[in-house]
Every structure is written in structure tokens, then in C-alpha cells.
């Protein structure tokens, strides 16, 4: 399984106008778990203001 950690950079807190930036990827059985841990830590590291408009998503690709 391959999992990508994506950062959504949005113009404001409505999160309607966003740019997606791939941050990291993992290729292994526990990839999703690793991604969630990284997303959680990176979210905590964002300032409170940035957490309102930017966020991380773990996206899974199966069968690659």
C-alpha cells in the first residue's frame, strides 16, 4: 500500500480555495498509520491561525 501525506494550503478558513502539496509518502503495510502520526504532529506544529485554513490529509493508493 502507498499512502501520501498531502498539505492543503487554503486562502482562508472556509477552505474552499486550496492548493494541494504532496509532503511525504510511505510504501509499506503500516503506511496509513505512519501518515496519521505525521499529520497529527505537523498539525500541532502549525500556528492556531494556520490550523484554521491549512490541513493535512492521508490519501491511500491501492494496487500500484
Q: What is the pLDDT along the chain (64 residues), one digit of tens a residue?
A: 899 999 999 998 888 899 999 999 999 999 999 999 999 999 999 999 999 999 999 999 977 5
Domain that includes residue 38, residue range:
2-20+29-56
Of the candidates 34, 27, 36, 26, the residue with the CA atom closest to the CA atom of residue 57? 36
Is residue 33 domain-resident? yes
Total domain count, the chain = 1
**CA 13 – CA 46 distance, rounded (Å):** 14
Is residue 37 domain-resident? yes
Residue 32 is predicted with a pLDDT of: 96
Is residue 50 domain-resident? yes
Is residue 64 domain-resident? no
Amino acid at each position: 500500500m502507498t499512502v501520501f501525506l498531502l498539505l492543503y494550503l487554503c486562502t482562508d478558513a472556509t477552505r474552499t480555495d486550496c492548493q494541494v502539496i504532496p509532503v511525504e509518502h510511505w510504501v509499506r503495510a503500516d503506511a496509513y498509520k505512519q501518515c496519521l502520526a505525521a499529520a497529527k504532529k505537523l498539525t500541532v506544529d502549525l500556528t492556531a491561525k494556520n490550523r484554521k485554513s491549512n490541513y493535512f490529509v492521508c490519501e491511500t493508493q491501492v494496487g500500484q
